A and B are shown apart, each in its own frame.
Chain A
Amino acid sequence: MATVLKPVDAVVIGFGWTGSIMAKTLTDAGLSVVALERGPPQDTAPDFEYPRIIDELRYAVRGETFQPLAKETVTVRHDIGDVASPYRRYGSFIFGNGVGGAGMHWSGQIWRASPEDLRLRSHVEQRYGKRFIPADMTIQDYPVSYEELEPHFDHFEKVCGISGVAGNLRGKLQAGGNPFEGPRSDDYPTKPLPPVYSAQLFEKATSSLGYKPFPMPSANSSGPYTNPYGVRQGPCNMCGFCEFFGCFLYSKASPQTTILPILVNRHNFELRTNAYVTRILLDASGKRAIGVRYVDREGREVDQPADMVVLSAFQMHNVRLLLLSGIGTPYDPKSGKGVVGKNYAYQMSTSSAAFFDEDVQINPFIGAGAAGQRAIDEFNSDHFDHAKHGFIGGSLIVTDATGGRPIGQMWVPPDSPRWGSGWKEAVRKHYLHTATFNSLGSVMSYRDRYLDLDPTYKDSHGLPLLRLTFDWHDNEYKVAAFAVARVQEIIRAMNPRSQFSLFMKPGEKYDTRFYQSTHTTGGAIMGSSPANSVINRYSQSWDVPNLFVMGASAFPQNIGYNPTGLVAGLAYFSAAKIKETYIKSPGALVQA
């Protein structure tokens, strides 16, 4: 029998970026809020203190701050007829754990979506015709526009102290910024950090090819900065320990460094860590959430009644909790009916290395996440004519000097020995003189790519694991081939001794052993009606209007950008509507 606690106004499931944003907004409005986080508490002090945090083996390889997969993971298969196997060891993507969630270990690469990304199906149909979209591709428009999200993108950028240069200020193109971005109402709050050497080479090479390179927007503030909440952040020194690590410099924006200092001591807020939510509780009608059930740190079952539930866990966990709670109709790939689990998507990335002679000092250990990096956006979204290329979507192309860490970031030419003294000699020769570049490509959604509950495997609480059915489609191989060809041209313009690329070729299967991107999306997508989506434009469940579902599970298909900017923009958009309308008169914010 679960212990039933005193009711609160709102309960927040998962305390990463969106959980913090919602808890902040709801407590602003005077609501009593309890946040439940499955992982432990963690903060800059004492958990990310210098120099203990500078430990690649502990954090990036053994993943001390990641969700322990032995307790709960997902199963993965390529196709509908296959038997899925559990993802037992981190590779392809990473789950965060603990306060801050993935917002703690992210790399701070932060983008807005392009305006056309948010109305992708109608844009493609209009420009290239309906037949340009393959029959099994299930992409759809977001039910919200870039213009509507813009003030919220802008606010989040100020909360984070993003460093960057505007490319399009209120419709006027700005020298040095991204000319392809949507119009922004304001510049970034802090200046970009100076380019690392490989980024300087990239600037020169891309400019010579006629592209417009610009500083990659970075959630690492470039100098001391105080955000609109009065929270001060430190400066990035490009220490090289960004993605997978907590930031000891208070620079990388995370809930801890931006929102929590003003939130955690509010009298109408309570955070409970090590609280593992197993179910969203519904009333007899199934149309109203009455609270959540969780297992506390001592293993006791606890019910937290609430008038409103915010589901703000990681994308996959959101979908699983909806399925476990019986909310919405599970997606059926055979009939195409149902929506929960529909349109799972991922990203298609490529990696390339340029090997220079020993007189070119790349010094790859200088860098961090997006700080000091440069990018081009010519080949992303619909920034170029896709007609002759025959695919939808595109890729960002960026420098990738994120730390030159000794275990994971030691590039040697492909003909080097893989171990022993020959390998060591190759490392000695190339480590300081190798520059790396990435493309980060969109992945479209398809009828046969989805999430559901696994029929066999269960977690440590006896609940079915989430099952992931995913493999690449032709469109995405084309995205990768096109992007890597552009990267190779750029590297050639740098005139290195040799270069080498890793990318997926047609026929190669999705392989979970290698890290590609943690940007998994979909499964609880937003749309214009209950027939095509789980949530409406305000991230409100169609089926249970006092439930709001945050995060990248809302993306109908994936974009060629890192998702956090869009995730936060959608969360602030929803939060504003809740504060303005929903709290005064709870109910469906969009009529089905």
Chain B
Amino acid sequence: MRILNIVESAYRATLEEQDDTVLWLSRALRNAGADLTVLLRGNAVSYAVQQACPTLSLGALTIQHPAQPNDDLAKLRAKGAAVFVVQEDLDDRGIDKQRCVEAAQPVRRAEIATLLEEHDQIWHW
């Protein structure tokens, strides 16, 4: 069963949570043996930008280990999952490809239908 995980929602509770919960779920599914492809679209294309979330101190408490999506993408690739990012969504956000991590391979919007055809399950998060 080939699964296409489409990730659109970005930076939702990524400091309260330990990770972006859909990238985390994607890694967990891959670890469980899922034949998985990840497509970043919408605001989630921002996860393809080189970034490191700062720590956050609130009173005596510090969130030391916030979500690091670049790491999640690299780990997914290392485990054999394909990771794609929609080029036009990057362009719409003025994101220069020089700022993007290698783990995410650009695809054009016109190729999304092909990805849908190539997968048995389409899970849009």
Q: Do A and B interact?
A: no
Report which A residues bind B (CB closer than 8 A): none
